[in-house]
């Protein structure tokens, strides 16, 4: 069931934790937030995180905000605070091959379900950023720009973003020609130039037009041979699960 808190009104000036306070008054606790990072990237995984923050002052994380509004050093510090204070949290990594196979939105929603199911405490209510998530067994609400107005969603956005950035930095060591550590797999002028020069690697998402074009252009090399592609047995794949364990 998805819906708004029963007979609850959230004031515009309620602050980052207004949703959680209203849901607590309605007896719908604990409140979990879910958000993703990497939706718009043409390379690397999609990371979906879920977080339950404790009630009261302990659940008010210093400096917490939408992860996109935080500079990297502040985001790392807030990430540490979230993990230290959270009642429970989880992060799900969805690799590019799965995104290409099933589609970004399908994987995003499935990732939110998986992240929520992996929480150590069952939520009483779920807040998600932008997209409603059905089939989670508890009431929930999709909040427009939720990572800017709900503390638990903002916390999930920070966990997802930091987890993904660390993965991209590790992938940059395996594929230095793309400089993933700088642009984190998003479409930039330098990233497109690297795609044109080297073609896509196994971590690129084939559904993106710039990646598809680079793959098509590189199907036949100067010597007339067809190089290995992401689907071949000759292509080395990076184990994202092992990276996730190392950076958690």
Residue ranges per structural domain of the chain: 18-169
Residues in CB range of 124: below 8 A, 6 or more apart: 23, 27, 28, 29, 30, 31, 138
The string of pLDDT tens digits covering residues 22-59 is 999 999 999 999 999 999 999 999 999 999 999 999 99
Class of domain 18-169: alpha beta
Tokens of 229: 């592609």
Cα distance between residue 164 and residue 166, in whole Å: 5
Cα separation, 124 vs 91, in Å, equals 19
Alpha-carbon span 115 to 93, nearest angstrom: 9
Percent of the chain with pLDDT over 90: 80
Q: How many CB atoms lie within 10 A of CB 150?
A: 27
Average pLDDT over residues 177-200: 97
Q: Whole-model pTM above 0.75? A: yes
């Amino acid at each position: 069931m998805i819906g708004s808190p029963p007979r609850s009104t959230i004031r515009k000036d309620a602050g980052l934790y207004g949703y959680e306070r209203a849901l607590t008054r309605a007896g719908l606790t604990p409140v979990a937030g879910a958000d993703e990072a990497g939706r718009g990237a043409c390379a690397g995984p999609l990371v979906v995180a879920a977080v339950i923050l404790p009630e009261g002052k302990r659940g008010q994380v210093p400096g917490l905000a939408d992860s996109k509004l935080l500079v990297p050093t502040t985001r790392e510090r807030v990430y540490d605070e979230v993990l230290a204070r959270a009642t429970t949290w989880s992060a799900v990594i969805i690799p590019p091959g799965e995104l290409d196979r099933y589609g970004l939105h399908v994987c995003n929603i499935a990732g939110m379900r998986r992240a929520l199911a992996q929480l150590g405490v069952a939520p009483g209510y779920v807040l998600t950023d932008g997209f409603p998530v059905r089939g989670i067994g508890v009431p929930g609400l999709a909040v427009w720009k939720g990572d800017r107005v709900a503390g638990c969603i903002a916390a999930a956005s920070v966990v997802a973003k930091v987890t993904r950035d660390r993965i991209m930095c590790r992938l940059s060591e395996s594929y230095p020609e793309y400089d993933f550590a700088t642009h984190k797999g998003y479409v930039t002028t330098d990233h497109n130039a690297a795609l044109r020069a080297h073609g896509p690697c196994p971590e690129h998402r084939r559904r993106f037009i710039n990646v598809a074009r680079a793959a098509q252009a590189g199907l036949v090399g100067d010597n007339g041979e067809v190089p290995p592609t992401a689907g071949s047995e000759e292509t080395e794949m990076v184990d994202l699960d092992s990276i996730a364990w190392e950076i958690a």
